[in-house]
């Protein structure tokens, strides 16, 4: 189950628990249905509740970034804990995706 | 170097077993009181290696993944993740950041980079059609003085 909120053309997704390859597939399936709605212009991932993430999470976010960018939308990330951020920094994802304060 | 503990786990190449492998390696490390940092590093590296075996080794076909681990007297942890899948044609290329053979599948190509960053060493032995072995090492404590063999 995806924890999200849709407000003024923005979908806020609150990720929690362990984001691995298995979970990334579930999130992808649920999220792509949600952002298929053309009124959605912005997607925000909140990583604060994540206890674990490996590079599958990076792949999932890059994929959603491409989808949103292709239709003129944007993606932003609210940073998570130190461990999650280590993978985020290692991947260079913040060079293409906005990091919110 | 004397081994003070060792384990072996065989599991089906199913995505839910990524969490299983992380739990087992965490439990295996517990007796030597790793720091949260070390625990997180090893869990992440294992998650990457096991995901590679499932997604790339077996390409989502049915197969067995084997994880072995050894704790040595000098405080070093050794982990091996093996599959009997399709193997890697060019290991040096596969280890490059952002290299992926699965462009459409949203693999980030960061797996080996994460393993190398979080472990002290990573060795990859692979043969096409025969499978892949990933060997990783990480020093956990100065010495396992509390865990000598009975």
pLDDT tens digits, one per residue of A33-91? 999 999 999 999 999 999 999 999 999 999 999 999 999 999 999 999 999 999 999 99
Lookup result for tokens 């393993």: B115
Token pair belonging to B106: 């949203």
Predicted confidence (pLDDT) at residue B105 exceeds the cutoff of 70: no
Query: In the 8-state DSSP scheme, what is residue A100?
Result: P
Assembly ipTM: 0.93
For residue A63, give how far its alpha carbon lies from the nearest alpha carbon of chain B (Å): 6
Which domains are assigned to chain A?
Answer: 3-99 (3.30.750.24)
Predicted confidence (pLDDT) at residue B150 exceeds the cutoff of 50: no
Compute the average pLDDT of residues B95-103. Answer: 76
Q: pLDDT (tens digit, 9 = 90+) per residue, A63-76?
A: 999 999 999 999 99
Q: What's the topology of domain B3-141?
A: Heat Shock Protein 90 (3.30.565)
Residues of B annotated catalytic, as ranges: 48, 52, 107
Provide the chain B residues 33-92 that lie in CB contact (below 8 A) with chain A: 40, 43-44, 47-48, 51, 54-55
For an interface test with B, give the residue of A21, A25, A63 to mutate (most B CBs within 10 A).
A21
Sequence spans of domains, chain B? 3-141
With H, G, I as helix, E, B as strand and everything else as coil, classify residue A60: helix
A52 with B114: Cβ contact below 8 A: no
Pairing between β-strand A74-78 and β-strand A98-99 as defined by DSSP bridges: parallel
Predicted confidence (pLDDT) at residue A1 exceeds the cutoff of 90: no
- Chain A neighbors of B65, CB-CB under 8 A: none
Nearest partner of B114 among A32, A58, A33, judged by Cα: A58
């Amino acid at each position: 189950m995806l924890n999200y909120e849709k407000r003024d053309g923005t979908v806020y997704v609150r990720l929690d628990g362990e984001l691995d390859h298995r979970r990334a597939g579930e999130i992808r399936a649920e999220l792509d249905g949600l952002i298929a709605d053309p009124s959605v212009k912005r997607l925000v991932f909140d990583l604060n509740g994540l206890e674990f993430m490996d590079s599958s999470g990076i792949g999932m976010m890059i994929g959603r970034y491409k989808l949103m960018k292709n239709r003129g939308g944007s993606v932003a990330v609210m940073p998570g804990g130190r461990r999650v951020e280590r993978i985020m920094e290692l991947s260079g994802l913040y060079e293409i995706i906005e990091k919110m304060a | 170097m004397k081994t003070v503990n060792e384990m072996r786990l065989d599991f089906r190449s199913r995505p839910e077993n990524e969490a299983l492998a992380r739990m087992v390696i965490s439990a295996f490390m517990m007796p030597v009181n790793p720091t949260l940092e070390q625990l997180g590093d090893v869990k992440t590296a294992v998650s990457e290696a096991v995901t590679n075996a499932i997604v790339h080794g077996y390409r989502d076909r049915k197969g067995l993944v084997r994880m072995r681990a050894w704790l040595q007297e000098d405080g070093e942890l050794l982990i091996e993740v093996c599959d009997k899948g399709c193997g890697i044609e060019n290991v040096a290329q596969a280890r490059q950041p952002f290299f992926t053979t699965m462009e459409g599948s949203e693999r980030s190509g960061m797996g080996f980079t994460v393993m190398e960053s979080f472990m002290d060493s990573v060795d990859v032995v692979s043969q096409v059609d025969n499978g892949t072995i990933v060997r990783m090492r990480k020093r956990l404590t100065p010495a396992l003085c509390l865990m000598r063999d009975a």
